[in-house]
């Protein structure tokens, strides 16, 4: 069974002006699709054919860098689409309380996510995750992911690759981060927290 390019969970204009419909159309329809297509091509007919995407990622992590990059990027983009919302959603009481304990306030967390994202060298991802029972801001480089890391449950992610923002903000990654920090899906983060296990790529 081949992996599918999941639909965006909103209209392609939903994230404007932070992320334009043109960016979303390339980012989802070209970049994400290419990662999915390459993953499918690599697993077709092999031992990993028919396995969940998370298993493909874990299996390829230390054995097949090309497959790992494409499988992890397929997962990361699915998670990223859900991490965004046309209108910022609300955190559950449980998440809100953990954010206040760890960061003081939701606004302070959003500032820190934007700061870490702006400071991240080159391509990658900035995450809010539960790590060893505590909220933590994490960064991964290039296609790396938190999808298969024991003891870590990713709650939200922001794409830091230039393809995520260049058409709208050119090289001004801080401007993109400042804009998307008002488009975060705290309801999705709350679901991930409540489940306590890592989100699975729908197929």
Which residues would be at the binding site for Fe ion (CB under 5 A)?
Answer: 159, 161, 164
HSE (side-chain half, CA atoms, 13 Å) at 14: 16
117 Cβ partners below 8 Å, 6+ apart? 126, 158, 160, 173, 177
b (16+ CB within 10 A) / e for 147-176: bbbeebbbbbbbbbbeebbebbbeeebeeb
Nearer to Fe ion, 23 or 190 (CB): 23
Q: Positive or negative CA dihedral for 130, 132, 138, 141?
A: negative
Nearer Cβ to Fe ion, position 161 or 199?
Answer: 161
Please give the Cα distance from 2 to 45 (Å, whole number): 10
Q: How far is the CB of 123 from Fe ion (least distance, A)?
A: 9
Report, in Å, the least distance between residue 94 CB and Fe ion.
29
Q: Give, as one character, the DSSP assignment of residue 84.
A: B
* Nearer Cβ to Fe ion (95/164): 164
Minimum distance from CB of 144 to Fe ion (Å)?
13
Closest C-alpha among 105, 89, 127, 111 to residue 174? 111
Q: Please count the other Cβ atoms lying within 10 Å of the Cβ belonging to residue 64.
A: 16
| Cβ at position 42, least distance to Fe ion in Å | 19
């Amino acid at each position: 069974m081949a992996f599918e390019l999941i639909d965006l969970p909103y209209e392609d204009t939903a994230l404007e002006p932070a992320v334009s419909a043109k960016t979303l159309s390339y980012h989802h329809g070209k970049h994400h699709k290419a990662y999915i297509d390459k993953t499918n091509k690599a697993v077709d007919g092999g031992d990993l054919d028919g396995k969940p995407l998370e298993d493909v990622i874990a299996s390829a992590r230390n054995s097949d860098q090309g497959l790992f990059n494409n499988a992890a990027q397929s997962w990361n983009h699915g998670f990223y689409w859900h991490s965004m919302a046309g209108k910022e959603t609300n955190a559950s009481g449980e998440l809100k309380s953990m954010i206040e304990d760890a960061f003081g306030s939701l606004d302070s967390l959003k500032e820190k996510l934007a700061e870490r994202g702006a400071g991240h060298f080159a391509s990658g991802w900035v995450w809010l995750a539960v790590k060893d029972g505590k909220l933590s801001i994490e960064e991964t480089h290039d296609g790396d992911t938190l999808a298969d890391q024991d003891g870590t449950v990713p709650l939200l992610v922001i794409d830091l690759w230039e393809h995520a923002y260049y058409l709208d903000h050119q090289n001004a990654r801080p401007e993109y981060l400042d804009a998307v920090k008002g488009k975060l899906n705290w309801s999705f983060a709350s679901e991930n927290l409540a489940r306590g296990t890592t989100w699975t790529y729908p197929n």
